[in-house]
Chain A
């Protein structure tokens, strides 16, 4: 087998788990994996950014109408150069097989959670452009169940300034399906937290009580 990212030989060491169980296989080599830097140490209790205490952004958010929406949040990796390259190839060059790269980590982290996993949805037009939803595909690769309760009302967030983003109108609409009490929002990237908070607000309005979030990357 070869590594999905660098095409180097990926030695398959025989193991008991691969023989008896259906564990998710690693598809990238150790070298590529080590390029992704993991977040460790003390983090902000709300958004999971490395910080000894509540971070500046969250302090600001807690003074707005979005205060108290999120229970907690975690992210796995920093948005470093290898991660940017990866996300570029996955999302914009549409290399859908790369959804498997973090599958086993996602599975180990999220398979035990009691909350219902809700991925951040894509706008239908965007979906037609990209042909797949990056978050849904990652969750599927990680063999995790998820459900959609939201639809995206506005097209894109990526080309706005920070100010515009934080003050923008609600980006999501409830799709009308009954919403469970406990929810875990999942997205690929957390930048300012606007997306997550908008989604959380709409879900809370629809009846959710405890909302936390998980993103693969933290920029």
Chain B
């Protein structure tokens, strides 16, 4: 505990050392002898000093960089993108990115990268800030991996092969990967790579989503069970060929760390390898050590070796689950049936980790409790050993392996369709949103209180201790009387979210998106950047939204609607509102198959509805012929004096028509979503002087190719002395109307 606080304090500010006081309170309560207090304090100070000294970084980041660097083994090559953490020779760690120029270069890099020091040129950049508080945060990602800058490589000029134990093991890993890709049937490659060497890049997004919904993603990480099985299997095998017990243990002590490197060195692998090795060592030396101490010692060693691992989700989950299971031993020991024990272990790990999972992912698989009790045994006893045996067969005699595949592949396919069917069942995901750190700690405390009570004799009503706080978290948004309007920073594009008071309804207006260009084969990414999935969805989930009452696509342009497909995959959507006629565009045609479960409407001028005291009215388009920007759905939201106008990409002629039709009814709008990202073809003076918005929001991307918003338009706003915000500069803009007051919050 002291190690955690001291490490975190060294990374952030010494103020965090105050939390040591809490630790001492706990020790006081436990009536620990004085000597422990001094020991813990001393230990914390030493760790703090050590970690603080390690984070000092005197490197000069100005100007271009030209020199040698080596990628860490977990770099990624996807399409024409190469990225990952790398170590500059005699310098700090940086996050390096590179755009591969030709197919030949890509091939060359793939055979060289893992074993070579590269000679490169590039520019240091500050990591980009996150678009909203629930989005992936590059700044802290970079920082929490011990780096502080991004190195954007301009060219890779040369490579020198390295020869040491690590590069040998990395080569081995590459060789295994290639071997699997060559010999395994296509449908089994992804799983075999994940289970054998911890490589998950081949897994498709759909598969990942299925595993997430079922809460079995952890099965594809190399975990404690996994290492236990490998070690146990080897142990039995070597004893069978009549080796001495001691020599087998000694062998395992050497082999396991090597396997950890080959398996990609994820924190869970190192944790389990570390623990198994420690236990083997104790056995060899005839020492007796409680397993809880083995766990805690390995935890401290891990932190001292790589302090930044503290922030890795895998590290937190792996240690969290193991910690929980070990401390439940005395409870588990009372159980008599093996089946029940297995189910309890699943429940304990899920329950312990749930505050942590919510904090990182904002949602939780509820079916995981049941599904895991089936799939954990299935994987550890069936699929995992099968993969090892099949891999062995491909090494020894390929025809034998082919025979085995002929049986195994349909079997695995059957299990796969079973998973898909299970994952398609509704209401499995619980999306309460992201708890604040304080709330997450409270949830954790509720779990610990429950454990302490249940240990003395479990009663069903004790479950309330856990359920009540969880329900509280779930219902919190329904208590909020504020009306929230959010303009999401989706780069160049539009996306706005309306949340009615008490969560009566949620409306999403556009989803952002990218205009995608034709690409060469080598450039195509298996995981392209997707605005809907990576920006819009995390915001909704972070706010605890899993259902959208109406999804409005103002018009069929990529920067408003390209991300919609992902929203349909990830949320339940009751209604889809389209501009009349836009359904015949290629973009919407491609989208509609995803919208099968939603009711599609084509509202026009005058369509309106009311929810509580909030009124929504479409004031355009007037005709059913779709002709592009000027046929954008224009939505007016009114809640008393708080009136917001969402204009889509409406242009000057459309604006003129609105002014003629509605005139003074459009006066004194509170917030205007500026038409067409501030293009000079929109926001005419006539329109602006009619609407006179208190605040106008440009939804545009940084350094976008169109030069939005145009200086002309910005001047128009300035001349009328209208206040503006731009998502490109301010990030996501959040407005909350509550009790007649409007609160404005920007991301930066």
Contacts and interface: CB of A to CB of B under 8 A. Distances in A.
A187 B456 CA distance: 27
A167 interface: no
Interface in A4-35: 12-17, 19-22
B448 A14 contact: no
A65 to B, nearest CB: 44
21 contacts: A14-B290, A14-B292, A14-B326, A14-B330, A15-B327, A15-B328, A15-B329, A15-B330, A15-B455, A16-B327, A16-B328, A16-B331, A16-B451, A16-B452, A16-B455, A17-B452, A17-B455, A17-B456, A19-B327, A21-B452, A22-B31
Query: Which 10 interchain pairs have the tightest Cβ spacing?
Result: A13-B330, A15-B330, A16-B451, A14-B292, A13-B329, A16-B452, A14-B327, A17-B452, A17-B455, A14-B326
A22 B28 CA distance: 11
Nearest to B454: A16
Nearest to A13: B330
Nearest to B325: A14
B517 interface: no
A100 B577 CA distance: 74
Contacts of A13: 329-330, 333
Most buried by A among B30, B327, B331: B327
Interface of B: 29-31, 290-292, 326-331, 333, 448, 451-452, 455-456
Contact of A22 (B29, B329, B330, B456): B29
Contacts of A17: 452, 455-456
Contacts, number: 34
A19 B290 CA distance: 15
Given A13-B329, A16-B452, A17-B452, 9 more contacts: A14-B290, A14-B291, A14-B326, A15-B330, A15-B331, A16-B328, A16-B455, A17-B455, A20-B448
Contacts of B290: 12, 14
Nearest to B288: A9
Interface string A130-160: 0000000000000000000000000000000
Interface in A49-105: none
A83 B116 CA distance: 74
Most buried by A among B326, B328, B330, B448: B330
Given A22-B29, A22-B30, A22-B31, A16 B329 contact: no
A71 to B, nearest CB: 28
A141 to B, nearest CB: 15
A15 B452 CA distance: 8
A20 B292 CA distance: 15
A22 B31 CA distance: 8
Contacts of B29: 22
A106 to B, nearest CB: 16
A169 to B, nearest CB: 46
Nearest to A108: B456
Nearest to B333: A13
Interface residues on A, range: 10 to 19
A12 B448 CA distance: 20
Contacts of A16: 327-328, 331, 448, 451-452, 455
Contacts of B448: 16, 20
A146 to B, nearest CB: 21
A21 B451 CA distance: 12
A21 B455 CA distance: 12
A15 B29 CA distance: 17
A3 to B, nearest CB: 15
A29 to B, nearest CB: 13
Contacts of B331: 15-16
A189 to B, nearest CB: 29
A14 B448 CA distance: 14
A24 to B, nearest CB: 12
Interface string A148-191: 00000000000000000000000000000000000000000000
Nearest to A14: B292
A22 B452 CA distance: 11
Contacts of A14: 290-292, 326-327, 329-330
Nearest to A21: B452
A4 to B, nearest CB: 19
A22 B327 CA distance: 15
B288 to A, nearest CB: 8
Contacts of B456: 17
A183 B326 CA distance: 43
Contacts of B452: 16-17, 20-21
Contacts of B328: 15-16
Contacts of B329: 13-15
Contacts of B30: 22
A21 B290 CA distance: 20
Nearest to A11: B290
Contacts of A20: 448, 452
A21 B456 CA distance: 12
A19 B32 CA distance: 12
Contacts of B327: 14-16, 19
B217 to A, nearest CB: 27
A12 B292 CA distance: 10
A173 B657 CA distance: 107
B333 to A, nearest CB: 6
Contacts of A22: 29-31
A32 to B, nearest CB: 17
Nearest to B291: A14
A129 to B, nearest CB: 33
Nearest to B30: A22
Nearest to B456: A17
A14 B332 CA distance: 11
B328 to A, nearest CB: 7
A12 B29 CA distance: 21
Contacts of A21: 452
A14 B291 CA distance: 9
B303 to A, nearest CB: 20
A13 B455 CA distance: 12
A14 B323 CA distance: 10
Contacts of B291: 14
A16 B331 CA distance: 9
B568 to A, nearest CB: 43
B172 to A, nearest CB: 37
A20 B448 CA distance: 8
B257 to A, nearest CB: 26
Contacts of B330: 13-15
A219 to B, nearest CB: 31
A17 B331 CA distance: 10
A12 B31 CA distance: 19
Most buried by A among B30, B331, B452: B452
Most buried by B among A15, A17, A20: A15
Nearest to B290: A12
A161 to B, nearest CB: 45
A130 B298 CA distance: 49
Nearest to A16: B451
Contacts of B31: 22
A19 B291 CA distance: 15
A105 to B, nearest CB: 13
B392 to A, nearest CB: 37
Contacts of B333: 13
Contacts of B451: 16
A33 to B, nearest CB: 15
A191 B28 CA distance: 43
A21 B29 CA distance: 8
Contacts of A12: 290
A19 B292 CA distance: 11
Contacts of A15: 327-331, 455
A13 B30 CA distance: 18
Contacts of A19: 327
A16 B452 CA distance: 5
A15 B292 CA distance: 10
Nearest to B450: A16
A22 B26 CA distance: 11
B40 to A, nearest CB: 15
A15 B348 CA distance: 13
